Amino acid sequence: MKKLFAKHNNWFFKVGLILTVCMVGIVIIGQFWTPYDPNAMDAAAKAQGPSLKHLLGTDYFGRDIFSRILEGAGATLLIAFFVVLLGAGMGTLIGALTGYFGGVVDEILMRICDALTAFPSVLLALIALAILGPGRLNVIGVLALVFIPSFARIVRAEFSRIKKLNYVSLAKLQGVGHLRIMLRHILPNTLPVLLPAISIGFNNAVLAEASMSFLGVGVSASEVSLGRMLSDSQNYILRGMPWYAIFVGLTIALLILGFSLLGEGLQQED
Amino acid sequence: MNFVLKKLATLLITLLVLSFLAYAAFEMVGDPVNLILGTNATPEAAEALREELGLNRSLPVRYFDWLFSFIRGDMGRSYIYRIPVRDMIGEKLGLTVTLTLLGFALTLLFSVPLGVYSARREGSWADRFLTVSNQIVMAVPAFFVAIILTVLFGVVLRFFTPGSFVSFDVSPGRFFLYMLFPAISIAIPRTAMTAKMLRSSILGEMQKDYIRTAYSRGHNRQTALRAHALKNSLLPIIAFLAATVAEMLAGCIVIEQIFSLPGIGRLLMVSISNRDIPVVEAIVMILAVWVMVVHFIGEVVSEMLDPRLRV
């Protein structure tokens, strides 16, 4: 960790880290404590603007918007976490195997990856979710699948570059097994490209979840998420309550900004 | 022109594979007969409808039939509205393409000057300001820009009425005024990304040997940049711009929803929730063709600029 700080001592990294830690920290606290019950309706406080009592105001049912955003952001971040975990995990596995061993399988898989990455990932996810139907697990599965090619591509490029280096040849001469070379000798050296990719992956996952749920093919109607809230809050704009949509949008934007600054900072050295 | 033909062949094969996958996937969604007649239809009526829709044939037969009709311009009939899909898509596609092209034009118009200016003044306050603001702006999702624009120009300043789209036939002027705001929403994040890429591409070129040679021949930084570095630094941008057009099309689906534009994205979402499979299939194919063609054009342009890529 100390090495990471010394290596990326730039403003993008610092600001991105602070923003991400703050946002994720608030959201995690929100999973255990919210100012109000996110679903409690208060008939006396319907459609109010921001105030000291209700920080971000209330909706038509008198539910506290701040508490609901905390709950929604938690759901969105959890989805993003599993999407990146599965997508990066599978992508790294595929990229490592194909990059290290090469051959016909590598050729074919990379062609498929090329064709898939040509398509906007939002579009692919939209089509897949249209077939499968909405739901939290479907969103995670589909987005993870859509994210695999981008991770596979960069990990493969690193593996096929590093495997030709002298220290790997030396390790092979000394009789180190393939698995150990891949895990102990090559994988740690792919981190400089893998870490920014994971950060950008979080950025894309939050954005994709928000877009899918906004369009109504993401989480199902009974579940919460930032995308769903964004689509609900649309109706409030024209009825003189634009802040609901702005606060939800701002939450998404700040989450994404944190991850994207972090990714940019990790790419730049010193 | 050999390289163009080669790319074209790859393009067609990819499209063929994609179209089959998309068709097969949507056929698995469910029996449209239940959807149209309801679950308590008599078996005879269901059989007759199956006959009418041509669903009693095997999947490969239906696929090739659909593919060849599609190539001829016949996209089948909507299950729900029973009218040709082509009539449903026609105008809406025009609107979405207009929106994408408008957004792309705005992106080009602003990103190239900003990127070049920033690179010319590397290290100055203006450059630092642009770099930081680009980094922030590119992380702002297009739908958030759309919400801000709706609130600012629609609700507060009343430049346009959100939700009341004016078609081109009614009033071209008001049509473009309304379209301007969605176009700006999709253009802003992409402008920041393109300007950032162009800046680092130009600065990368300025480090190369031929620029040092240009200095020794009496060029200064400005003229060397304009005469030598600019053209070479555009090369990596072209592939990115092709991806931009493809991404913008996908972005349109969300933006159309926010601005209530009757474009192809809204039709896609409505058809998905109606399970109107022929319409969904046709739109997915059109989007696929669009994405592939845009990348194809990008590759051909790159190869024309840099003959080395043809090998």
Calpha distance B15→B17 (Å, rounded): 6
Question: Average pLDDT, stretch A100-113?
Answer: 85
d(CA A5, CA A270): 9
Helix axes B277-305, B264-274, angle to 10 degrees: 140
Q: What is the pLDDT of residues B245-291, one digit of tens each?
A: 888 888 888 899 888 888 898 899 888 888 888 888 888 888 888 88
Say how many CB pairs under 8 Å bridge A and B.
Answer: 103
Find residues 154-173 of chain B whose CB sits inside 8 Å of chain A.
154-155, 162-163
Choose, out of A10, A11, A110, A126, the residue to mutate when testing the contact with B (most B CBs < 10 Å). A126
In the predicted structure, residue B31 carries a pLDDT above the cut 70: no
Nearest chain B residue to A239, by CA: B155
pLDDT at B310 (0 to 100): 67
| Candidates B131, B140, B244, partner chain A, best to mutate (most A CBs within 10 A) | B140
**Whole-number mean pLDDT of chain A?**
87
ipTM greater than cut 0.95: no
3-class secondary-structure state, position A64? strand
CB contact under 8 A, A217 and B254: no
Q: What are the C-alpha distances in Å from B239 to residues A25, A76, A133, B299, B302?
A: 38, 32, 34, 7, 8
pLDDT bracket for residue A270 (50, 70, 90):
low
User: Across the interface, do B251 and A250 touch by the CB < 8 Å criterion?
Assistant: no
Question: Is A241 at the interface with chain B, CB within 8 A?
Answer: no
The pLDDT-based confidence of A235 (bands split at 50, 70, 90) is: confident
pLDDT of residue A155: 93
Residue A112 has pLDDT above 90, yes or no: no
- Range A167-182 average pLDDT: 90
Contact yes or no for B134/B195 (Cβ under 8 A):
yes
> What is the full DSSP assignment across chain B?
-HHHHHHHHHHHHHHHHHHHHHHHHHHTS--HHHHHH-TT--HHHHHHHHHHHTTTS-HHHHHHHHHHHHHHT---B-TTT-SBHHHHHHHHHHHHHHHHHHHHHHHHHHHHHHHHHHHHTTTSHHHHHHHHHHHHHTTS-HHHHHHHHIIIIIIIS-SS-TT----TTT-HHHHHHHHHHHHHHHHHHHHHHHHHHHHHHHHHHHTSHHHHHHHHTT--HHHHIIIIIHHHHHHHHHHHHHHHHHHHHHHHHHHHHHTT--SHHHHHHHHHHHT-HHHHHHHHHHHHHHHHHHHHHHHHHHHHH-GGGG-
- Please give the pLDDT value at position B1: 67
pLDDT value at residue B311: 58
Q: What is the pLDDT of residue B139?
A: 82
Read off the pLDDT of each residue in B113-119 and give the average, rounded to a whole number: 91
**Mean pLDDT for all residues in chain B:** 84
Sorting pLDDT into bands at 50, 70 and 90, what band is A3?
confident
Beta bridge pairs of residue B84: B77
CB-nearest partner of B284 from A127, A214, A234: A127
Q: Is the pLDDT of residue B132 over 80?
A: yes
Per-residue model confidence (pLDDT) at position A222: 81
pLDDT at B107 over 70: yes
pLDDT in tens, A42-81: 777 777 777 777 778 787 777 888 988 999 999 999 999 9
* Distance between B156 CA and the closest CA of chain A, angstroms: 10
The confidence score (pLDDT) of residue B39 equals 66
B84-89: long-range contacts, CB 8 A cutoff, minimum separation 24:
B85/B278, B85/B279, B85/B282, B86/B282, B88/B267, B88/B279, B89/B264, B89/B267, B89/B279, B89/B282, B89/B283, B89/B286
pLDDT at position B44 is 76
For the stretch A177-207, pLDDT in tens is 899 999 889 999 998 889 999 999 999 999 9
* B203 contact A CB<8A: no
pLDDT at position A5: 74
Q: How confident is the model at residue B150 (pLDDT cuts 50, 70, 90)?
A: confident
B264 Cβ under 8 Å from any chain A Cβ: no
Least confident of A250-264, B17-31, B84-98, B105-119: B17-31
pLDDT of residue A1: 66
Strand partners, A58: A64
In percent, the amount of chain B with pLDDT more than 90 equals 16
Distances (CA, A) of B100 to B65, B113, B186: 31, 21, 8
- Tell me: the pLDDT tens digits for B211-245? 888 888 888 888 888 778 888 888 888 888 888 88
Q: What pLDDT, on the 0 to 100 scale, is given for residue B246?
A: 87
Task: Report which listed range, A89-103, A233-247, B146-160, is most confident.
Answer: A89-103
**B97-100 contacts, C-beta under 8 A, 24 or more apart:** B98/B179, B99/B179, B99/B182, B99/B183, B99/B186, B99/B252, B99/B255, B99/B256, B99/B261, B99/B263, B100/B186, B100/B245, B100/B248, B100/B249, B100/B252
